[in-house]
Structures are given as structure tokens and as C-alpha cells.
Amino acid sequence: MTHPDIHADRVLVLDFGSQYTQLIARRVREIGVYCEIFPWDEDPKRIGAFAPRGVILSGGPQSTVAGESPSIPEIVFALGVPILGICYGMQQLAKQLGGRTEVGVVREFGYARLIVSAASRLFDGLADGEHEGLPALDVWMSHGDRVIDPPPGFAVVAKTQDLPIAAIADERRAWYGVQFHPEVAHTRQGLAILRRFVLEICGLKPSWTAANIAEALIERLKAELAGEEVLLGLSGGVDSTVVAALLARAIGRRLHPVFVDTGLLRRGESAQVLALMREQLGLEVRCVDARERFFAALRGVSDPEEKRRIVGRLFIEVFEEESKKIKNLRYLAQGTIYPDVIESARARTGKAEVIKTHHNVGGLPERMNLKLVEPLRELFKDEVRKLGLALGLPKEIVFRHPFPGPGLAVRVLGEVRPEYVEILQAADAIFLEVLRRHGYYDRVAQAFAVFLPVRSVGVVGDCRAYEWVIALRAVETSDFMTARWAMLPPELLAEASRRIVNEVRGVSRVVYDISDKPPATIEWE
């Protein structure tokens, strides 16, 4: 069977450290073209071997003026392909090609009106309005430095009120620079500008679609795993479920999904995972009931980091025991996704500012002497979701909120006891149900209940009660690095609170968490 080569046309995003770099890559992929992010100081040989058909230079926090600024490697110019420099990328492009930049008097940040002052293939026909007879665009600016002389061969094609050179173009070489950020949603025509660059100026075909990706991945897995037995740890989350769906199609029963029931999952989750695997994917899951073991190991432990370590270690132990029962096993499948790959690359080169250490099965493949297969390595989270839908997985799974590896162990504050977990599961299930009923589940990024091991006085019926407290948390975020508490409607909170106190035995008080991240984290522990 032939299928479109999803990697044939590709774009390189060269990263100068902007907080928006991943967003640029996601936009290019949304347009339908494969792209990868390389750090600006990547080995030029790798850049050459990647053979991009277009290059986008990201923004960055550095100044092009002071001292040694991160530079564009010569190989990028030698490729002879279209280039688009964004913000720092534009300034550095100008500087290296013989133009001049200076430190701006004021830092510009926020909305600006871009006036398109000369024709260019990048902006032709695009406008949000006009300014003295010229097309104008609403754009998002964030910069300190500015270009004061364009390099030879470049024309100035746009300005703003405060910035005489806001975009430059060398149409002959198809090299462009824009001072604003087309990748952020605030730039209204941003996607249209990127589409113009990728599809028209670079001349690439949009073949990076969920259906094509599914087909290509399944074929690749079939070839790569011919005759092999593969182990997969299911968590109930979207990534491992999508991996299961892909591998089910590629190798069928040679996939061995293992599900460890830690007793620390949301209510009804283990049954749901098993039913999905069996009914939709035709897979028999090895389900290990390890609830007793986890509760026993956690007894008397209240330090959050210690709880995390215990859950992580025990999970690996149980998983390893199970895997030993599978004959001729040589592969372990994992749901690693592209942001994990980028983050660990940044961490290796010391460029990461924030690194999460949330991985639960690190070190496992070496220990078990297994080869890794990571079919989602190239995908962003939104692409994994689209792929899941293309593979026919139900929406409830595909759009499910993230859930921490240590599970409810970090949502029962302090010591984890089975009776606390049971209360928490019941309260959490009610909260999620109420959110769904009010149409808020998909509007928040993550929502859950937390069990607080403090007793509070209440009146239940005619009696004085002295019972536990449940906290509800719901946040809005796209990257989980920062988050805002969700302003849920009072009726919704009232219904959740009423139902929890009425239906969950042992709870007499419900509170709502109104802390942002930072300073608070999303989880309570």
C-alpha cells in the first residue's frame, strides 16, 4: 500500500530560546507540513541532513547588539531555501547579512498596528483594516531591539507607529523578517501569514494530517516490529491509549498491554480502560490488581516526595514482574511525545529553564534489557489527540484531563489510607460529573478533588458532625507550567458542593481553591 510521505516536505524551526518556539512548530504542523525544532547551535551537519525546504528563525530573549549573540549557522543560508526570521530571528538575520540593529529606547510589548508599506509575497492580499490607504494588520509585538538598516538586497515592507522597520523582504532569495509574532493567536492574520510562507513561498504540500500520520505510523510499526512481541504499560491516559490503538492495528495480539491497578486511580477508571481495550481494540489486557501492595507500601508515609518515590518504585517492580511472564519479549512501547523529546534535549544542553521530573518509568528499558519503541515521539499533544480521533478512540478518552503518575497518592494529603481514597474518588467523580453537565469539563484544562485530612465541624441532618474536608480545584492553562484558577459559575460550585456533602459519607465541608500557578502548583502536593 502506498501513502503520502508525511515527511517529504519539511520545515526547520531554529530555536533561539523564545517561549513561543513550540507554538511556531505547532502552527506549521497545523498548516499540514512536518517540522522539527533544532537549537540554534545544532551541528550544521544535522541541519544539512535534515534538508528542510524552508527555515523559520524563532524569537529569543537575547540582544543582538550586546556582545556575542546567538547566531544563525552559515548552513542555513547555504541551503538556498526560503527563510522567515521572527523577532530576534529577524534582527539576527539583518545583522548577519550586513544590516544594523540597535537597542530600542522603549521595549514594545502587546498589540500594534502593522502598516504594510510595500508589496511583498508575505502579506499580499492580507489586511484587518487600512491606514491612510495602506493595508493594516493587527499584530502582537514583544521586543527590545530593532532593525535600523535593512541588509543589502532587502526592502522594508511594513512599519508601525513607533517602528519604521517592522518587516523586511528579499523576494529574490525569498528571505523575510518580521518583528512581530505571527505564531500567537493575537496576531489575527498570523496563521494566514505562516500559511503563505510555508505553502506558497516554500511551495510545500500539506500532507501532515492525522489520517496520513496514522497510516504512515502503522506501516512503519508493522515493518519495524515484524514478528516481535511488544510490552506496553497502560495508564488510562491519552498517550498510552493512542499508542495501544496504533500498535493494535500494526501488530495485533503481539502487543501485550499491562495495566497496573494501583488503587490510586479515578473512580471507574480501570474498568473503563479494560473495556475500551477489549471492545474497541480487540486486546486482552493483563490487569494486575496491586491495590493492597500499594496501600501497604504507603502506610504511615506522609511526605509527598517519599510517596512519589514509593509509587514509582512499586510500579516498576510490578510491571517488571508481569513482563517476565511474556515469552520472547524484546520491545517496550512508550507514549513519549515531542515536547518530552525537546525538553530532554534542552536539559542535556543546559538550556532548559524549567524541567519537570515527572516521569515514572525512566530507566526501565535498560533494566529489563528491552528496546524502546516510541511511536508518538514526533507529535505534539494536540496532534496525539487528533490521531486518537482518527483511530476511532472515543472523545472522553481523547480529551481527558491529565492525571499525575502517582495518582491519588498526591491528592490525599499526608498519609494515604484506603478509606480516604474511597472518599476522594466519590467526591472527584461527582465534581467531574457536575462539570460535564454544565459544559465546563472541556473548558478547563484540569479539574479534580483533593482530600484534606482535617476535621471540620458541621451539621448534617440534626446532628453535629465532625468530618473531613474536600477541596475542589479547576485550572485553565495550555502548558501546565503556569495556570489560572478557573472562575466556575457559582451554581456549578453550589451543585458540586451540595452533592458531595449529601452523597459522600464522611465529608461535611467543601472548599474551592482560588490559587494561581505560580505561586501555587496545580496539584496540592
Residue numbers at the binding site for ligand XMP (CB under 6 A): 308, 358, 402, 404-406, 446, 480, 517, 521-523
- Sign of the C-alpha dihedral, residues 125, 131, 133, 134? negative
Q: What is the largest CA-CA distance in the chain?
A: 85
Euclidean distance between CA atoms 388 and 242, whole angstroms? 5
Q: How many CA atoms lie within 13 A of 64 on its CB side?
A: 28
Query: DSSP strand E in 222-292: where?
Result: 229-234, 255-261, 286-289
Q: 3-state class of 10 per DSSP?
A: strand
Q: Give 136 or 361: the residue with its C-beta nearer to ligand XMP.
A: 361
Residue type, position 170, single letter: D
Nearest to 471 by CA among 495, 447, 442: 447
- State which residue, 31 or 447, has the beta carbon closest to ligand XMP: 447
Establish whether 183 is a catalytic residue.
yes
Closest contact distance (angstroms) between CB of 523 and ligand XMP is: 3
What gap in Å lies between CA 283 and CA 333, rounded to an integer? Answer: 15
Whether 87 sits among the annotated catalytic residues: the reply is yes
- Residues 43 and 497: their CA atoms lie apart, in Å, by 57
Q: Measured from the CB atom, is 10 or 308 closer to ligand XMP? A: 308
Catalytic option among 36, 183, 467, 525? 183
Give the closest residue to 469 by CA, choosing from 522, 515, 524: 524
Q: Which is nearer to ligand XMP, 480 or 512 (CB)?
A: 480
- Amino acid found at 287: C
Shortest CB 304 distance to ligand XMP, Å: 9
Q: How close are the terminal C-alpha atoms of the chain, in Å?
A: 50
What stretch of H or E contains 475?
strand 463-476
Active site residue 181: yes
Q: Which of 35, 42, 87, 378 is catalytic?
A: 87
Q: For residues 177 and 404, which CB has a smaller minimum distance to ligand XMP in the complex?
A: 404
CA distance 191 to 185: 8
Distance of CA 148 to the CA centre of its chain: 37
As measured in angstroms, the least distance from the Cβ of 482 to ligand XMP is 9
The grid cell for 358 is: 515527572
Strands (E), 20-99: 34-39, 54-57, 83-86
Least distance in Å: CB of 84 to ligand XMP? 33
Closest separation between CB of residue 317 and ligand XMP, Å? 18
Query: Is the CB of 64 or the CB of 235 nearer to ligand XMP?
Result: 235
Among the listed residues 143, 181, 256, 401, the single catalytic one is 181
Dist CA 384 CA 94 (whole Å): 37
CB closer to ligand XMP out of 10 and 411: 411
Q: Which is nearer to ligand XMP, 358 or 436 (CB)?
A: 358
> Degrees (nearest 5) of the Cα angle 274, 276, 282?
90
Query: H or E element: which one contains 111?
Result: strand 100-116
Dihedral of the alpha carbons of 319, 320, 325, 330, in degrees to the nearest 10 = 110
* Residue number with CB closer to ligand XMP (153 or 312): 312
* Residue 7 burial (CB count, 10 A): 13
Minimum distance from residue 410 beta carbon to ligand XMP (Å): 6
DSSP reduced 3-state for 495:
helix
Contacts of 513 (CB under 8 A, 6+ apart): 450, 471, 472, 473, 485, 520, 524
Residue 384 to residue 375: CA distance in whole angstroms: 10
Catalytic residues: 87, 181, 183
